[in-house]
Copies of this chain bind each other. A is one copy, B any other.
Amino acid sequence: MDAIAQEKTAESIATDLALAIHEHRLSPGAKLSEDEVGEIFGVSRTVVRAALQRLAHDRLVELKRNRGAFVAKPTVKEAREVFEARALLEPRTARSAAERTTEADMIRLRSHIAEEHAALHAGNPGRALFLSGLFHTEIARIANQATVEAFIVQLVARSSLIIALYWQRRNALCESHAHHALLDALKHHDGDRAEELMKHHLLDLLSSLDLRNSESAPRSLREALRH
């Protein structure tokens, strides 16, 4: 429904769709028809399929044979696994980042936080959440570990889906505080503190989710009959 973009590559379409998912403009379970997406972006189904396959590999969409592509609906187990993986990767990556942070990095991070605040006060929580995730990927970039960064990008994106499904309270303020504290640790090249802060930040994030007793019951009873 937005402006019809003139960009045509599969990469850009995948990025646009990922952004829409990240900002919760596309909800978990939403169907992504090849014809529809292709018409929106003004391209053939061929390139749309490439984009969808890419997103499927990132676990942002689920491809069901002869059924189509749907925005993924992570289970509770997957949610725990994603945060387990983040707990393995991000704290020590934050430590590495702290040891390498430059003034240019600080400026970039501060601008991200400022944007996040602005989006939040402008009543755009989706964009604020996206920028909040970007903060994490930026830290991975500063650590100069492209391989780990790619993993974290993927995990942050999936976290966005998880938050869309299992978010329970709106303590975004707490998050901002954690990011500010991390920023300070990076500024002083305090690797120990950065690692510890990131570790607890992820635990806080996890504890803000409602991951109880959904293991047996599907989220929507429609899902139970469809299988």
- List residues of A whose CB falls within 8 A of some B CB: 46, 49-50, 53-54, 57, 78, 81-82, 84-85, 88-89, 92-93, 145-148, 151, 155
Contact = CB atoms under 8 A, between A and B. Distances in A.
18 contacts: A50-B50, A50-B53, A53-B53, A54-B57, A57-B57, A81-B145, A81-B146, A81-B147, A84-B148, A85-B145, A85-B147, A85-B148, A85-B151, A88-B89, A88-B92, A88-B148, A89-B89, A151-B151
Contacts of A57: 54, 57
Taking each of A46, A57, A82, which has the highest tally of chain B beta carbons within 10 Å of its own beta carbon?
Answer: A57
A41 to B, nearest CB: 18
A88 B78 CA distance: 20
Contacts of A50: 49-50, 53
Taking each of A46, A148, A155, which has the highest tally of chain B beta carbons within 10 Å of its own beta carbon?
Answer: A148
Nearest to A79: B147
Contacts of A146: 78, 81
B54 A147 contact: no
A22 to B, nearest CB: 18
Contacts of A155: 147
Contacts of A81: 145-148
Nearest to A147: B81
Nearest to A82: B147
A133 B84 CA distance: 23
Contact of A145 (B54, B84, B151): B84
Contacts of A93: 88
A197 to B, nearest CB: 18
A93 B89 CA distance: 12
Contacts of A88: 88-89, 92-93, 148
Nearest to A96: B84
Given A84-B148, A85-B147, 18 more contacts: A49-B50, A50-B50, A50-B53, A53-B53, A53-B54, A54-B57, A57-B57, A78-B147, A81-B145, A81-B146, A81-B148, A82-B147, A84-B145, A84-B147, A88-B93, A88-B148, A147-B155, A151-B151
Which 3 interchain pairs have the tightest Cβ spacing?
A81-B147, A57-B57, A85-B147
